[in-house]
């Protein structure tokens, strides 16, 4: 009997490509976290660190940073990237199975990865990982398009060839739209206060070949049967080439912030 492929584990199949083409995060995201925290945190943990795209931003804090990442291939790229860096440690584990340091950390961050943590326990586990008053910061890109006409044409290709991901062309299946950080979980929890969301917009150009590689790193695309993924990517490549050979990816980076209260009631 074959086991169903786990969508949250498909990133490791393309770890190097992921590291090559996925966009990093604007410095402004970190500036906003530090402003919200009221200073530079002295201890940081990151859930779902992947190959280190968010880690690179967090590392600029010059603070000890524990990266929790369950996929061995992703963690391998991450560990190589920060080899010899005394401030960065890598733990190969799901966030759900990780034991936070006693007393908790001052900042728990997660880049494009919080939606993969079991939603029935993640708010409680985030609180358990934080010192009282500590800051939770989840952020992630919504991969939009600067050119509306290109987006409309791409929508039609998705409708024809991959309707199951047609509502989010170019997006991972569980992409975090600016309003879908499950802020309500934090709003209703007595473990968190001062819940807010901020948006940072940037535009990143991708030439056709690189854009196709980007698509292969999205879990929704990876889960498509190979032949259909191939047909979809071919059709999208033709479309992009007809329109100048560049996709301007409009990234709306949503940043969800919350502060750990002193309360231990879940």
Asked if 215 interacts with ligand SAM (CB under 6 A), we say: no
**What are the Cα distances from residue 98, in Å, to 55, 87, 95?**
18, 19, 5
Q: Are 37 and 60 in contact (CB under 8 A)?
A: no
Interatomic CA distance for residues 139 and 86, integer angstroms: 25
In degrees, rounded to 5, the angle at the alpha carbon of residue 48 between the alpha carbons of residues 44 and 54 is 60
> Using CB under 6 A, which residues numbered 48 to 87 contact ligand SAM?
48-50, 53-54, 68-71, 74
Taking the least distance from each CB to ligand SAM, the nearer of 157 and 257 is 257
Taking the least distance from each CB to ligand SAM, the nearer of 18 and 192 is 18
Asked if 145 interacts with ligand SAM (CB under 6 A), we say: no
Q: Are 100 and 128 in contact (CB under 8 A)?
A: yes
Among 33, 111, 212, 254, binds ligand SAM (CB under 6 A): 111
Interatomic CA distance for residues 133 and 128, integer angstroms: 12
Size of the site for ligand SAM (CB under 6 A): 22
Asked if 136 interacts with ligand SAM (CB under 6 A), we say: no
Among 58, 66, 79, 112, binds ligand SAM (CB under 6 A): 112
Using the structure block, give the residue that is written with the tokens 């993640």.
122
Stretch that binds ligand SAM, among 105-113, 163-171, 234-242, 243-251 (CB under 6 A): 105-113
Query: Cβ-count burial of 71 within 10 angstroms (0-12 exposed, 13-18 middle, 19+ buried)?
Result: buried
Q: Are 77 and 51 in contact (CB under 8 A)?
A: yes
Asked if 95 interacts with ligand SAM (CB under 6 A), we say: yes
Asked if 113 interacts with ligand SAM (CB under 6 A), we say: yes
Taking the least distance from each CB to ligand SAM, the nearer of 74 and 127 is 74
Asked if 8 interacts with ligand SAM (CB under 6 A), we say: yes
Query: Residue 248 forms beta bridges with which residues?
Result: 205
Taking the least distance from each CB to ligand SAM, the nearer of 56 and 153 is 56
Interface residues with ligand SAM (CB under 6 A) are 8, 11, 22, 47-50, 53-54, 68-71, 74, 94-96, 111-113, 116-117
């Amino acid at each position: 009997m074959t086991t169903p492929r786990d969508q949250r584990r498909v990133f490791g199949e393309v770890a190097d490509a992921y590291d090559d083409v996925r966009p990093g995060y604007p410095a402004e995201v970190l500036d906003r976290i530090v402003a919200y925290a009221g200073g530079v945190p002295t201890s940081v943990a990151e859930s779902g660190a992947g190959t280190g795209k968010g880690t690179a931003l967090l590392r600029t804090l010059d603070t000890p940073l524990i990266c929790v990442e369950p996929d061995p291939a992703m963690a391998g790229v991450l560990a190589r990237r920060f080899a010899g860096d005394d401030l960065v440690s890598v733990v190969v584990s799901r966030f759900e199975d990780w034991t936070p340091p006693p007393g908790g950390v001052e900042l728990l961050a997660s880049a494009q990865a919080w939606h993969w943590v079991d939603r029935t326990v993640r708010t409680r586990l985030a609180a358990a990982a934080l010192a009282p008053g500590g800051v939770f910061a989840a952020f992630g890109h919504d991969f939009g398009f600067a050119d509306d006409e290109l987006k409309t044409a791409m929508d039609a290709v998705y409708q024809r060839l991959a309707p199951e991901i047609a509502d989010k062309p170019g997006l991972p299946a569980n992409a975090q739209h600016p309003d879908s950080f499950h802020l309500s979980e934090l709003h209703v929890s007595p473990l968190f206060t001062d819940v807010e969301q901020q948006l940072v917009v940037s535009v990143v150009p991708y030439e056709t070949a690189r854009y196709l590689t980007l698509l292969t790193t999205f879990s929704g695309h990876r889960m498509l049967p190979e032949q259909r993924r191939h047909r979809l990517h071919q059709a999208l490549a033709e479309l992009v080439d007809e329109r100048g050979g560049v996709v301007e990816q409009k990234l709306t980076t949503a940043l969800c912030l919350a502060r750990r209260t002193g309360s231990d009631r879940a």
